[in-house]
Each structure stands twice: as C-alpha cells, then as structure tokens.
Amino acid sequence: MKHPPQHSKSGYPALTRRGLLQGAAIAPMMFAGTIGAAAAAELATPKAFSRIHERKPLGFDASKLRGLSMQLIESHWANNYGGSVRTLNAVQSQLASLLGGSDVPNYLYNGLKREHLMRTGSVILHELYFDNLGGSGHAGADLRTRIAADFGSFDACIDEFRRISLGLGGGSGWVVLAWNHHFGMLENYWMADHMHYPAGSEPLLVIDLYEHSYQMDYGAATARYVDAFLDNVNWEVVQARYERAVA
C-alpha cells in the first residue's frame, strides 16, 4: 500500500532522509546537464591539460617599425605564432583525452609530448620576440653598464649577438641574450629550434632567425633583417626583464 506524502505545516511535502539522498544523487546529473558535457569534463581536467592559450596582441603599431613592414609582422604574428598557439591547444586537448590511462603506447604518447615541448617553446619565444620590439633601439645607460659588467662592453655583447644571428642566416633558430641564474651572469645563446633552451637561464632579448621572420622583406639578406631588428628593440622591456631576473 502506498502511503500519502507527508506534508509540513507550510503545506509543502516534508523532507525525508530518502528524499535528501535521492536529491543528492540527482543534483550532479542535473548540474552536468545544465553546463554541458564538455564544460563538466573541463572542470574535471587538471589545469596543466585544460588551459586555453590565446594569441597575445602586439604591444606596438606594426606600421611604425623601421625597416620591418607591417605585412611581415602581421603575417608572422597571425600565421607562425598563431599557428603554434592553435597547435598547442590541440595537443593539450589530445593529452587531456588520454588522462587516467589508455591503450596508447608510451612511444606514441611521447610523440605528443615532443610536440607539446616544441609548441610551448614556439609560443613563449614568439611572445618574447614581439614584446621586445617597438622601441627606439637605444639602451639606457644603466642597462648598458650592467651588460658591460659581463661582456666587457655593451657593444661587445651586441656584436656577439649579431654574429650568432648571422650564423643562423638561411637556416632556423633563435638567438637569446639571457640571465643565467646558475652562473649568475649574462650570456648570449645560440638555439637551433624551439625546444633546446639553455638550462637555468631567463631570456632578456630574443630574436627569431627562422626565415619566416624576414624573408618577406629581405629575402636571404639576413644581415639587413638583424640590423632592422636591433633598430627596433624596446630596451625598456629588456631592462624590466633583467630587473625581474636578478631580483
């Protein structure tokens, strides 16, 4: 025999222990249905696998650079840097789908991790590169003095930076002036690609030497591109990076 529902003094059905338990079981399903399956899954995905990367806007007017065309900069930003942002998001999504174990062999999983490493490096280095453009090309006296303390002179540092850059002409890679935390000094580094960054170092000045960064304006004339880059360096950004690095 069914018993009629109990009512409280207010006239509404009284809460019972069974009712509370049933409600607790149904609530998560109702919540998941409300926010959508994809959003519910995202809430359960760790931050390391769920971050959505977006292109960082340029911090300068690309039409006002000296010797670097707006067409070159905007194509580099949208296609090369933007492509790495999109690919990094896709790779992280694939990695997230494999959380908790799967039948994917470890060597195939590591293939995704290799792509993750490469795209992470590309995104970060491109953002550093664009952020240190848009300036006067003239370093302040204080920063020149600090660089000279490790290189003998500011010009010696820039000469080596330029020499390494020209050595990468026609190939691929990056040149980075960085503060090495382990050694406690500034050094210029040659990098063949996005993945092999010098351990213990923090980038201060970054130049992209992949041909896509200059071919549209200069063809194979790497030296002219490097000179144009140095003429547009925002040394205030470089100094701010240095201050954070040594703090």
Q: What's the predicted TM-score (pTM) here?
A: 0.81
- Is 36 contained in some domain? no
Q: Are residues 160 and 183 in the same domain?
A: yes
| Domain end marker among 130, 160, 176 | 130
Q: Are residues 124 and 149 in the same domain?
A: no
pLDDT beyond 80 at 168: yes
Q: Are residues 99 and 145 in the same domain?
A: no
Per residue in 75-105, pLDDT tens?
999 999 999 999 999 999 999 999 877 788 9
CATH assignment at residue 176 = 3.55.40.20
Q: Are residues 112 and 158 in the same domain?
A: no
Tell me the residue type at 189.
Y
Report d(CA 108, CA 169) in Å as an integer: 34
In this structure, how many other beta carbons lie within 10 angstroms of the beta carbon of residue 147?
A: 24
Q: Are residues 232 and 145 in the same domain?
A: yes
Overall domain count for the chain: 2
Q: Are residues 114 and 148 in the same domain?
A: no
Structure tokens at 234: 């925002």
Q: At what angle do helices 141-151 and 154-167 cross, to 10 degrees?
A: 70
Where do the DSSP E strands lie in 123-239? 174-180, 185-191, 201-208
- Is 108 contained in some domain? yes
| Domain end marker among 130, 162, 180 | 130
Q: Which residue has the tokens 């000279």?
A: 148
- Is 159 contained in some domain? yes
Give the structural domain span for 176. Answer: 141-246
Per residue in 3-31, pLDDT tens?
544 544 444 344 444 443 344 343 334 33
